[in-house]
Each structure stands twice: as C-alpha cells, then as structure tokens.
Structure 1
Amino acid sequence: MPLLPRRFERLKAVLDRRMGDLTVVLEHVDKPHNLSAILRSCDAVGVLEAHVVSLAGRTPTLNCTAKGSEKWVPLHRHAEIGELLQGLKDRGLQLFGTHLSQEAVDYRQCDFSGPCAFVLGAEKWGLRPAAAALVDQPVVIPMRGMVQSLNVSVACATLLFEALRQRQAAGRVPSGGEGVPAERYGRLLFEWAYPEVAAWCQREGRPYPALDPEGAISESLPRSLKMRY
C-alpha cells in the first residue's frame, strides 16, 4: 500500500527545508539523553545531518528524548575528529567551537548565515586541544548566574536556533529543496518514504524505483516488502 499523498507531501515539505550547509559535530558527547536532545533540535531547525566522535569502545545510543529524530537526521560516526573537521573545512564550512579561551567571543557577535558547523565537546572537559585548534572561531554563551555553562544539548539548541534566526533574517533559509545536494535529494526522499524498500534495494544492489507525483512506487516489487512508511 503506498503512502497517503498528504504524508508524502509532508515528507517532501520537510526535506525541502533541510539545510545541508549547517551541521553539528559532537566530540565525546556520549550520554543518550544529550545525543537524543541534540538530534531533536537538529530536526526542529532543519539540519540535514550530524556527526559524532565517541570515546574509544563506546557506541552512540539514543533514548526516547529523540522522539524519532534519528530517522530524519542521520548521526554519522567518525573515529577521528581531525580528519572530520578538516573535511568540513574543505567543503567550505566555517567551524564554530564552544570553547573557553582568550579568543572566544559572544555567540551573538558571530555570523552563522553562511555554511557552518558547531563543534561541541563533553560537558566535563569540553573540546580536546586537537579539536579546539581546528575551529575557526571559539564561541561562548554568556552566563549570568553561578553556573559557568549550559548543558551541552541546551547549548547546541541555542546556537542552532540563533543560526536559523540569522538565516531567516538574511533570506537564506531553503524552501524548495535547494539546501540539499541535488544528487542526494531523490534518494533521501525515497528513504524517508519507503525505508524498508530502500533497505531491500541496498541489499540487492539495485537502484531505487521511481516515484510518481503522489509518492507511489511506479513499478512492481515483491509483495513481501512493506511498502508503507
């Protein structure tokens, strides 16, 4: 049974607003609650994907706080942060790191309207020196109370929504899919609409079937496949 057209339109509308030039890099942020809350904020703002470098021997896990956001915002795992950060820089993203240093500035003084990534470390020790050395601009969120910092998931949400605010003010928020690389848009839309069929195609090494304008699959497939999201 195909998707209902209104469901397909909802998926397409969300993908149309995704921003491939805004992302989050998490270094040793391994608590399930924090990871889950960060992915939920990423989804809410329109981030296309996020990245994590975990402590050795740890596998990132999520909990109910994510509210299913992991289905819409892939969390890519990386073994080493230096290569990841350099790769983002090579793609033209400016790196803003939450890091207390003499060079750190109030996050509200920064321009997040262009391609950028927020690099955040674990709450206890923050970014390691190797990661801090690669960020283009360290930032701080000023505190007015006794505590010196926010929970990492709250800090991430603060930065993401400031980036969204700036991009809205500058007229740089995508609305028609222009924020997603063209070669990825169709694949992502199919994977969102038919995850089981997409997984089967990947196992079989075959291309995804075409979708008609209402989101129905345009060819016959094995009846055992779950066709609906």
Structure 2
Amino acid sequence: MTPEEQRAALFEQLVNEGILDESDRILWELLTPERALKMDAVLRQRTRHIAVLLEAVDDGHNQAAVLRSCEAFGVQNIGIVAGRGGWQPSQGVTQGADKWLSLHHYATIEEAIRAMQHRGYRVLASRLDEHATPIQEIDLRQPVALLFGNEHDGVSDEAVALADGTFIIPMYGFVQSLNISVAAAVSIFHTTQRARREVGDAYFLTREERRAILRRWMTSNTPQARRVAAALRRAASSDQT
C-alpha cells in the first residue's frame, strides 16, 4: 500500500470511528501521508487524565522545556498563570511543541485552580514538605493536575492553600531540589507511565476530544490549510443564512 493509500484508508477508518466527517476530506488531503499517520498515532496516545499547571514560571527556557516534556509524554492540557516576566517560551527549546498542546491562560492562580477542579482534577502542588505525598504514592484513579511554581519561590502559599494536596519527588543526595523543568519532566513521566498501567482506557482522550483536537491540528497544519478552513467556515455560514 502506498503512503497515499494509507492516508486514504486511515481517513475512512476515522470517519467510521466518528472522529472525522466526509466534509473533513479536503483538509485531510492537504496533509502529507506521513503527517496524517503521525497525527493519528500521537493523538491515540494523548491524555487529559494528567494535566500540568504552571504558576509564575518566568524563564522562557523553563517554560519551553516544560511544554516540550508535556508534548513528549502525551499530556494535552496545560494551565498557565503568567508571572512578572510574562509568557514567552523560547521557540528554540519548544521546537514547535506548543502548537500541539491545549494551553489555558488564567489571570490568577485562584482562577486556574478553581477551573481545574471544576473540570474534575485534583490539583496537587509540588512542595518540599515533610507532609507532601511521595510522587509514587499519588492516587491516580481521579484526574490529577500537577502544579509547579516559579524558579525562585516555588508554589505560592495561596496556591498550596487552594490545592487539594501536595507532592514531592523523593531525593537521596545532598541536593534536595530540582530545576522546575527537570522536576516537571520527572513528574510528568512518572505519573503518565503509572496512569497508563493503572487507569486503563479512561487514561486516553474520548472520541469527542480526539475529534476536536484533530480538527484543530489539521486546520493549523499549514497556511494553505488555514485558508481552506476559513473558506469552509464562510461557506457553512452562508448556507445557514
């Protein structure tokens, strides 16, 4: 089977699964066969069961590194509360990872935590605290949002008070803290691997979530795809009037 035939066969499969509609064919065929197959393979491994929330992480390299870890390990949802330095992840570090993620910006940490909790997440703050739960003991049966603070002060006291609990990465050396991007990478890897084993199918995206994300990916794939998507929206709007 040629790459083009593989792309066509996958489109029919996704239509049968209810992920795409026949009306999506134009956008689908703008994807290279390799990109189409990769998008599907990646999306099948994505999760919203584990999410990440960043509070006032100021360094652009750290911002980018966390996004890259989220993308690499399949975490789709990232909440962001910008600090004094704003939100400007280094593009050289993200390597485009951010365009595949669902980034949610909030004005305050209270708004962010409340929003996560409203979506069904237990928000757990990273904290160097003797009462914090070791990361390997976190209960992952319910969706969990891992909260990380900025490079100097960590998670704020306000955030800890609003969160559902705290967690810690056990360390056995003289150093008892990790850089934010390293701590996030370790935490994301550990929790996603455990959740895959322990949660089963509930770990992965629902059909509706896959449908929405794949359509967004297709429409933002190239400038041509964005133009076609805009034209299709205009045509649909005209048909309704």
Q: TM-score range by the shorter chain?
A: 0.7 to 0.9
What secondary structure does 1:146 align onto?
Answer: coil
Q: Give the match for residue 191 of structure 1.
A: 216
| Correspondence list, 1:59-70, <5 A | 59-70=87-98
Deviations 1:54-113 (A, max 9, x none): 124623332312122111113322111112111211221111111133421221121235
Assess if the C-alpha contact under 8 Å between 2:65 and 2:94 holds in 1: yes
Offset of 1:194 from its aligned partner?
3.3
Deviations 1:97-152 (A, max 9, x none): 11133421221121235311000001211111111112212111122222220111
Q: Unaligned stretches of 5+ in structure 1?
A: 210-229
CA gap 1:202/1:103 in 2 versus in 1, 3 angstroms: farther
Matched, 1:180 2:205: yes
Q: Give the match for residue 4 of structure 1.
A: 32
Q: Give the match for residue 82 of structure 2.
A: 54
Matched, 1:75 2:103: yes
Deviations 1:149-184 (A, max 9, x none): 01111111111111122123225267xxx8334444
Once residues 159 and 68 of structure 1 are traced to their aligned partners in structure 2, the CA distance between those partners, rounded to angstroms, is 22
Structure 1 stretch displaced more, 55-64 or 11-20: 55-64
Q: Give the match for residue 57 of structure 2.
A: 29
Assess if the C-alpha contact under 8 Å between 1:201 and 1:208 holds in 2: no
Aligned residue identity for 2:194: Q
| Correspondence list, 1:89-128, <5 A | 89-128=117-156
Assess if the C-alpha contact under 8 Å between 2:58 and 2:151 holds in 1: no
Q: Give the match for residue 164 of structure 1.
A: 192
Aligned residue identity for 1:85: I
Greater helix percent: which structure?
Answer: 2
Q: Give the match for residue 47 of structure 2.
A: 19
CA gap 1:189/1:101 in 2 versus in 1, 3 angstroms: same
Q: Name which of 206, 210, 221 aligns with 2:233.
A: 206
Structural RMSD (CA): 2.6
Structure 1 stretch displaced more, 165-174 or 86-95: 165-174
How much identity, in percent, do the aligned residues show? 32
Q: Give the match for residue 139 of structure 1.
A: 167
Once residues 132 and 187 of structure 2 are traced to their aligned partners in structure 1, the CA distance between those partners, rounded to angstroms, is 14
What secondary structure does 1:52 align onto?
Answer: strand
CA gap 1:200/1:80 in 2 versus in 1, 3 angstroms: farther
CA gap 1:57/1:143 in 2 versus in 1, 3 angstroms: closer
Q: State the aligned residue count.
A: 206
